[in-house]
Amino acid sequence: MSDVPSDDRSWPQGRSFYHYDKLYDRRNVGYRGPTFSYASMPDQYVWAALQRLELAKTDRHPIFAEVDLVSSHTPWTRIPKMTAWNDVGNGSIYKSMPAGRLTRGELFGDHARVRAAYGQSIEYTLSALVSFVQHYGERNLVLVVLGDHQPAKIVSGENPSHNVPISVIAHDSAVLDKIAGWGWENGLLPSPRAPVWSMDAFRNRFFRAFGS
């Protein structure tokens, strides 16, 4: 299953090439709230919709889903805030959140301010993810969480690396036991001493660990 809230048009390759059996995007998750800069909807709503549309079903098969989170996407001029999960509804609650007065040009004209805004967006995205796991997570839930690229160079600098963090989150300790030999660190913030692997190396280790 693919859940990409930034998509707003048909993506036939999702079925024909990637073989997803369901495709969710901004048109079919029931969102009735405002956009937040680039993000068509807040990350918390993305999680809430996934729970409502798929995970809450009692007669479902196991689900493998790619879920894209976009609240940390540039330009960071409007960042949502967490709300109670029971209040998320169809997203109309977000209409009451301040729209913000900064334009992209104004924000990007202040290096310190744009870096702070990026940090706030990451804090929101991770808060939504952690809160979802705490509120809805069940024993069989496993998340592989990774960044797809560095932010704009106004945040990351002129010569950033291509490294992004990867975390495996699971309620069942047996899942983490399978990767205990990787030498990974606890928590969602790896230190400079954490191992660095290419994406294909991670893929191969992951498949070996879980028997594929």
pLDDT in tens, 39-58: 999 999 999 999 999 999 98
Q: Is pLDDT at 160 greater than 90 in this prediction?
A: no
Which of 97, 98, 90 minimizes the C-alpha distance to 48? 90
Lowest average pLDDT, out of 90-104, 118-132, 168-182, goes to: 90-104
Residue 63, classed as helix, strand or coil, is coil
> Which pLDDT value is given to residue 159?
87
Confidence of residue 172 (pLDDT cuts 50, 70, 90): very high
State the average pLDDT over residues 80-107: 91
pLDDT > 90? residue 103: no
Within its chain, how far is the Cα of 86 from the centroid?
20
Rg (CA), the chain: 18
Classify 146 as helix, strand or coil. strand
Helical segments of 17-149, H only: 43-50, 104-108, 111-136
| Residue in the structure block whose two tokens are 């705490």 | 134
Element at 153 (helix H, strand E) = helix 153-156
pLDDT at 80 over 90: yes
Give the mean model confidence (pLDDT) for residues 70-79. Answer: 93
Model pTM score: 0.93
With 80 as the cut, is the pLDDT of residue 163 above it?
yes
Q: What is the dihedral of CA 96, 102, 103, 104, to 10 degrees?
A: -100
- What does the pLDDT read at residue 124? 97
Of 40-44, 155-159, 171-175, 178-182, which range is least confident?
155-159
| pLDDT at residue number 212 | 60
Residue 98, pLDDT above cutoff 90: no
32-37: average pLDDT: 92
Q: Distance between CA atoms of 101 and 205, rounded to whole angstroms? A: 46
Q: Do the Cβ atoms of 76 and 120 come closer than 8 Å? A: yes
Which residues is 66 bridged to in the sheet? Answer: 2
pLDDT beyond 80 at 99: no
